Amino acid sequence: MKNFTKPNWDNCNLNISATLAEFLGAPNKNATLPILKEELSKNYKNVVFICLDGFGIYPIKKNLKPTAFLRKNIVKTLTSTFPSTTTNATTSLICNLKPMEHGWFGWSLHFNEINQNVDIYLKANSLTGQKVDFDYPLADNSNCYFDNANTEYNITPILPSYVQTKCKNKIVISNEEELCNSINEVCKKEGKQFIYAYYPDPDSTMHEFGVSSIEAKQKINYINNKIEELYNGVQDTLFIITADHGHIDVKGYIEFYNDLEINSLLSCPPYLDARTPAFIVKKGKEKEFEEKFNKKYSKDFKLFKSEDLINQNYFGETNKYGYLLGDYIAIGTYTNKMFLPHKNMPKFKGHHTSLTDEMLVPLILLKK
């Protein structure tokens, strides 16, 4: 797939979690990052891992000067998971599992048992928004690797209220001030401290206004400055900062729900995510679907059989949850279009989930 960035399971944001799991004495079977292992061997009092949603290489270069604090401390470029989306990547980060091991592939999944597309974070029908009471056949995404640690470090997750963990020390935050103040307070406690922090911006801002907007620039520079202030106020601390995925500016919308001809070939509306829609095709209609989809949309979306992507290790080596990926997945190209499977889908100005610039995220190390 020319010009697409395949997830690299030896150089991925997941490998940060794998390295930290090993460091904390938790089970780990994934590859670790030598550059991070070396830094962790220096016996810091505090180790702080921060995931900034959407804070990928493209938004960083678009909005931070080369001399900006976070940008100048990038030590390595990593790939995200695929699809490069929050649902998928943050589950991998917090559980230390590849996508095929947890099944949280995208914002929306189709479950044959109830014949519904469901927004799985919200547990709501993707078309109507109504809650769906169902025993979802997915891994427990609150089973965090650090919940199973065997370490002298005290462990504190600092998270928005909706992010689940079994750790009893969770601190709930809702803005950048609370994020940085909470990290600062934990770092100043006696004893060794490990913190996992997740913050939903700049992703939210870029969805609304776009990566190249003045709002995104202001938000990203504000986050940069707050973390620099935080860094200057602590001692004997290693900060590890990455993103779950990157972001791109949306340059157009494909209102697929208006394409009655191709929709008539499907068993259910498309699902998964807006730059990686998945399709379940009626039996015997596969060839017709391929021909008509490629004729209309091949410039903006490259169509692949889901089975082929699974076999090529785009989701991890196993095939535990592959059936959730349907028959086909269309992957958004560098035309940066957003695929709208139903008319209730918001038209974001910035988005992600594909294999283009959305796939590249930083490994930032701040050593104090």
What crossing angle do the helices spanning 214-232 and 176-187 adopt, rounded to 10°? 20
Same domain, 145 and 272: no
Burial 119-129 (b: 16+ CB within 10 A, else e): bbbeebbbbee
Same domain, 236 and 153: yes
Instruction: Provide DSSP, 247-282.
Output: -EE--EEEEGGG-HHHHTTBSS--EEETTEEEE-BP
For residues 106 and 201, give the distance between their C-alpha atoms in angstroms, rounded to a whole number. Answer: 19
| Alpha helix ranges (H) inside 64-200 | 69-72, 86-95, 99-102, 176-187
For residues 15 and 32, give the distance between their C-alpha atoms in angstroms, rounded to a whole number. Answer: 5
Same domain, 225 and 316: no
Same domain, 69 and 93: yes
Domain residues for the domain of 278 are 251-347
Residue 121 domain flag: no
Residue 171 domain flag: yes
Residue 65 domain flag: yes
For residues 284 and 265, give the distance between their C-alpha atoms in angstroms, rounded to a whole number. Answer: 9
pTM above 0.85, yes or no: yes
CATH code of the domain containing 27: 3.40.720.10
Give the number of domains in the chain.
Answer: 2
Same domain, 257 and 319: yes
Same domain, 166 and 33: yes
pLDDT tens digit at each of 368 positions of the chain: 668 999 999 999 999 999 999 999 999 999 999 999 999 999 999 999 999 999 999 999 999 999 999 999 999 999 999 999 999 999 999 999 999 999 999 999 999 999 999 999 999 999 999 999 999 999 999 999 999 999 999 999 999 988 888 888 899 999 999 999 999 999 999 999 999 999 999 999 999 999 999 999 999 999 999 999 999 999 999 999 999 999 999 999 999 999 999 999 999 999 999 999 999 999 999 999 999 999 999 999 999 999 999 999 999 998 899 999 999 999 999 999 999 999 989 999 999 999 999 999 999 999 98
For residues 303 and 305, give the distance between their C-alpha atoms in angstroms, rounded to a whole number. Answer: 7
